[in-house]
């Protein structure tokens, strides 16, 4: 086929696609296959992935627990940027890919492999993130994407697996493609492909059934230090357990469901369904704390940076000068993002109900309508006069030259309207 390879390191999830990929790579490229399984907090799957990799012909089966690094170096930096792609998706899958790529490349270098492989299809964003990441970090490595190259459907894959006596978990036929990590769970395919029909309850696993959502609200307090969440209800927690606890507690109340028509990098629109309880709670909390401690102009400028940051991450450009520059700006804004945020979890929603910070810019004496106000209301008149000076002048000019805009007839010339005569 596409030339021989010596040794390929395959990103191995333990699922059907990547299990079939092991003998397929050996046959098509004549290469030895080493698998690498990265724990990014996926709940299901992992199980006996390592034994399965070896049973299916891997020369060696490597494993990395990358959860802590994922949280510290990818999720929390993105949280500081309130990352929500298209205002909606907290980028769970997108944030884990560059970390998996880093481990894949490191393993390939250590084991002197000449290529890496992944199980992405040719229609999604993940292939872009893998290919671009590898090409950036280690341009000498070839990237093999068996699923993109072979023409097998699920039935063909199962037949191929039987022929090669592979050890696979053929789960009861599921039409869904699922990807999980600490920051969320993505579900695609099957009836979800119709953006007009509501997702069936069966696709949700982290957010329980609505019948089971508690009838009473629950409060949770998140404590941030310089933009990083460090406490829940006053208890210090490391990043991974903090995210896990929030996924569990908010998920139990149905918080985290996302139904999004998303624009993929490859130009396709697709309906995407997610469960991201911790991510949505933390972004809401972090945003709310920032509204208390950041100035209006920084908030406004930062929101532009956040949007671009989210697109860069989505597009697979984590390892790029732009992402690093945006990150540097975001980091710089976080020095006062310290404080506590209270949220109420109830029936699918997480609502901020309080926030406090030693760096709060909210001055009671300025904002209060009470007697102790120090705000000089008499200064407002002059302020408003100058604040609107330029637009007022421009408007007057245009009116004088007979090209008024946005001026309804009624403002131009007030006249009596008889209620009896329709216009």
Residues binding ligand ARG (CB under 6 A)? 93-94, 125-126, 177, 179, 186, 188, 262, 272
Q: Is 97 a catalytic residue?
A: yes
- Respond yes or no: is residue 344 known to be catalytic: no
**Per-residue burial over 194-230, b = 16 or more CB atoms within 10 Å of its CB, e = otherwise:** eeeeeeeeebbebbbeeeebeeeeeebbbbbeebbbb
Q: Would residue 235 show up in a list of annotated catalytic residues for this protein? A: no
- Which residue, 186 or 338, has its beta carbon nearer to ligand ARG? 186
**Minimum distance of ligand ARG from residue 381's CB (angstroms):** 52
13, 17, 185, 327: which is the annotated catalytic residue?
17
Least Å from the CB of residue 139 to ligand ARG: 24
User: Residue 211 CB, nearest distance to ligand ARG (Å)?
Assistant: 27
* Residue 398 C-beta: closest distance to ligand ARG, Å: 48
Return the number of the residue (18 or 338) whose C-beta is nearest ligand ARG: 18
User: C-beta of 384: minimal distance to ligand ARG in Å?
Assistant: 47
Q: Active site includes 401?
A: no
Q: Which of 54, 59, 148, 177 is catalytic?
A: 177
- Catalytic residue selected from 13, 52, 67, 126: 126
Nearer to ligand ARG, 109 or 178 (CB): 178
Which two three-digit tokens encode residue 31?
């290469």
Token digits of residue 397: 């000019």
Q: How far is CA 224 from CA 194, 233, 289, 338, in A?
A: 40, 11, 9, 5
* Smallest separation, CB 316 to ligand ARG (Å): 9
Output the smallest distance, CB 100 to ligand ARG, in A: 12
Closer Cβ to ligand ARG, 131 or 179, answer by number:
179
Q: Closer to ligand ARG at the Cβ: 223 or 256?
A: 256
Q: Which is nearer to ligand ARG, 176 or 329 (CB)?
A: 176
Give residues with Cβ within 8 angstroms of 197, minimum separation 6: 191
Q: Which is nearer to ligand ARG, 157 or 188 (CB)?
A: 188
Q: Among residues 52, 97, 102, 185, which one is catalytic?
A: 97
Task: Please give the positions annotated as active site.
Answer: 17, 97, 126, 177
């Amino acid at each position: 086929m596409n030339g021989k390879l010596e040794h390929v390191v395959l990103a191995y999830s333990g699922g059907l696609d990547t299990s079939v990929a092991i003998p397929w790579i050996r046959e098509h490229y004549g290469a030895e296959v080493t698998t690498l399984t990265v724990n990014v907090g996926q709940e299901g799957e992992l199980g006996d992935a390592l034994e399965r990799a070896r049973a299916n012909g891997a020369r060696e089966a490597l494993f990395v627990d990358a959860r802590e690094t994922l949280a510290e170096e990818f999720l929390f930096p993105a949280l500081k940027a309130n990352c929500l792609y298209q205002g909606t998706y907290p980028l769970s899958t997108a944030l884990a890919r560059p970390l998996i790529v880093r481990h894949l490349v490191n393993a390939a270098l250590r084991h002197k492999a000449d290529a890496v492989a992944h199980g992405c299809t040719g229609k999604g964003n993940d292939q872009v993130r893998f290919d671009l990441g590898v090409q950036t970090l280690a341009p000498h490595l070839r990237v093999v994407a068996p699923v993109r190259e072979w023409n097998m459907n699920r039935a063909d894959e199962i037949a191929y697996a039987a022929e090669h006596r592979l050890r696979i978990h053929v789960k009861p036929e599921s039409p869904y493609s699922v990807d999980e990590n600490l920051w969320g769970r993505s579900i695609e395919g099957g009836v979800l492909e119709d953006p007009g029909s509501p997702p069936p309850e069966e696709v949700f696993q982290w957010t329980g059934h609505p019948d089971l959502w508690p009838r009473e609200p629950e409060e949770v307090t998140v404590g941030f230090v310089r933009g990083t969440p460090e406490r829940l209800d006053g208890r210090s927690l490391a990043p991974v357990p903090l995210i896990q606890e929030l996924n569990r507690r908010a998920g139990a109340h149905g918080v985290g469901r996302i139904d999004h028509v998303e624009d993929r990098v490859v130009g396709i629109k697709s309906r995407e369904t997610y469960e991201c309880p911790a991510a949505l709670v933390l972004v809401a909390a972090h945003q709310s704390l920032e509204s208390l401690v950041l100035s209006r102009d920084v908030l406004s400028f930062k929101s532009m940076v956040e949007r671009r940051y989210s697109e860069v991450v989505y597009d697979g450009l984590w390892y790029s000068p732009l992402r690093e520059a945006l990150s540097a700006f975001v980091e710089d804004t976080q020095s006062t993002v310290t404080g506590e945020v209270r949220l109420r979890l109830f029936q699918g929603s997480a609502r901020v109900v309080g926030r406090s910070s030693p760096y709060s810019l909210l001055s009671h004496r300025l904002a209060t309508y009470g007697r102790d106000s120090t705000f000089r209301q008499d200064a407002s008149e002059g302020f408003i006069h100058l604040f609107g000076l330029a637009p007022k002048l421009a408007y007057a000019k245009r009116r004088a030259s007979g090209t008024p805009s946005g001026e309804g007839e009624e403002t131009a010339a007030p006249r009596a309207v008889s209620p009896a005569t329709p216009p």
